[in-house]
């Protein structure tokens, strides 16, 4: 859905001196497309993964000083812009979830299809690993995480097996967890929804990286950094992510006036205009080309008014 993201942002970025923020740099594919499509724009790109910054830095080197790459989590955007002396930006892009590089690099432990240490930290210099979560969290917390973040209906069954097995030997590698999940589920649950470990791995990744808590802070902060006329596009891959984005955009696009006023004063007028009708989905062609795009949901909004004083 890259082309659609570029088209959504285009009216705000096709002007000299515009600044666009890629909040989820990854391997730099979206950043490269932004810099190529909008030759007058300056890019600020964030990522918490130092290896991603290194690799994308090589990719974006031909753009020189037009690209500024920063080691940061995307809820730190206001602080990053302040350090760079940037008051407002014209465009913001989020491509949420785990990057292809992280999925494909076996040693990171994100993928359930190959055995690897259960790490799952996007920034491997800080925080606790997925193995620590599995080995130390109380059973009730693990059930909550699997059910809320992975939408795993068999959470209690899986957690019972995890608690039983970790008493024998702590978890360290992904293959053992995948095997335990397969053995824990009833046959009917194994026949639907792809790999039965998918939902548990997703839930652990979200917990390890605090993704929903970070996103809850990041999207409102990103909206506040937009200049009037600026645009934001968010690609989500999980219903909870999409719901958070939807709520922020809907609140910004609604009047805050008390009911019954004959004329709505300026300070109560909406700050945002929605650019998508609901969430846009990938085309069949996009899913055929990249199956990881299947759950993607795109929402966009434009800043039409400053915050009320």
Rg (C-alpha) for the chain, rounded Å, is 21
- Residue 115 assigned as binding residue: no
Three-class SS state of 70: strand
Best CA proximity match to 181, nearest among 169, 193, 198 = 198
Give the span between the Cα atoms of 111 and 197, in whole angstroms: 10
- Residue 47 assigned as binding residue: yes
- Residue 238 assigned as binding residue: no
Best CA proximity match to 306, nearest among 269, 265, 258, 254 = 269
Give the span between the Cα atoms of 294 and 309, in whole angstroms: 42
Cβ atoms of 44 and 71 within 8 Å: the answer is no
- Residue 29 assigned as binding residue: yes
**What is the DSSP secondary structure assignment for residue 56, as one 8-state letter?**
H
Strand partners, 28: none
- Residue 28 assigned as binding residue: yes
- Residue 269 assigned as binding residue: no
Best CA proximity match to 245, nearest among 273, 279, 271 = 279
Give the span between the Cα atoms of 233 and 96, in whole angstroms: 11
**Residue reference for tokens 């909550």:** 144
Q: Is 268 exposed, middle or buried (0-12, 13-18, 19+ CB in 10 A)?
A: middle
Give the span between the Cα atoms of 150 and 237, in whole angstroms: 12
Cβ atoms of 22 and 240 within 8 Å: the answer is no
- Residue 95 assigned as binding residue: yes
- Which residues define the annotated binding site for S-adenosyl-L-methionine? 28-30, 47, 74, 95, 102
């Amino acid at each position: 859905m890259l082309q659609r993201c570029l088209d959504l942002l285009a009216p705000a970025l096709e002007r000299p001196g515009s600044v666009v923020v890629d909040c989820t740099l990854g391997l730099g594919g979206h950043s490269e497309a932004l810099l190529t499509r909008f030759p007058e724009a300056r890019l600020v790109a964030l990522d918490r993964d130092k290896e991603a910054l290194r690799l994308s830095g090589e990719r974006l080197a031909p753009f020189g000083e037009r690209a500024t790459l920063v080691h940061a989590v995307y809820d730190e955007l206001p602080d990053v812009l302040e350090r760079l002396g940037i008051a407002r930006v014209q465009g913001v892009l989020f491509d949420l979830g785990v990057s292809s590089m992280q999925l494909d690099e076996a040693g990171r432990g994100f993928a359930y299809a190959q055995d690897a240490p259960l790490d799952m930290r996007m920034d491997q210099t800080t925080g606790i690993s997925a193995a620590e979560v599995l080995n130390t969290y109380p059973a009730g917390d693990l059930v909550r995480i699997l059910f809320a973040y992975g939408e795993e209906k068999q959470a209690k069954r899986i957690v019972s097996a995890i608690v039983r097995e970790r008493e024998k030997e702590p978890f360290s590698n992904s293959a053992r967890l995948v095997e335990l999940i397969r053995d824990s589920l009833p046959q009917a649950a194994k026949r639907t929804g792809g790999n039965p470990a998918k939902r548990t791995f997703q839930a652990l990744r979200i917990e390890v990286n605090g993704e929903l808590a970070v996103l809850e802070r990041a999207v409102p902060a990103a909206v506040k950094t937009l200049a009037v006329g600026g645009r934001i596009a968010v690609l989500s891959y999980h219903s909870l992510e999409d719901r958070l984005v939807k709520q922020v955009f809907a609140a910004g696009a609604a009047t805050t006036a008390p009911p019954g006023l004959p004329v709505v004063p300026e300070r109560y007028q909406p700050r945002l205009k929605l650019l998508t009708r609901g969430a846009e989905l990938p085309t069949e062609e996009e899913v055929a080309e990249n199956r990881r795009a299947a759950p993607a949901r795109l929402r966009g909004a434009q800043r039409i008014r400053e915050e009320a004083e």
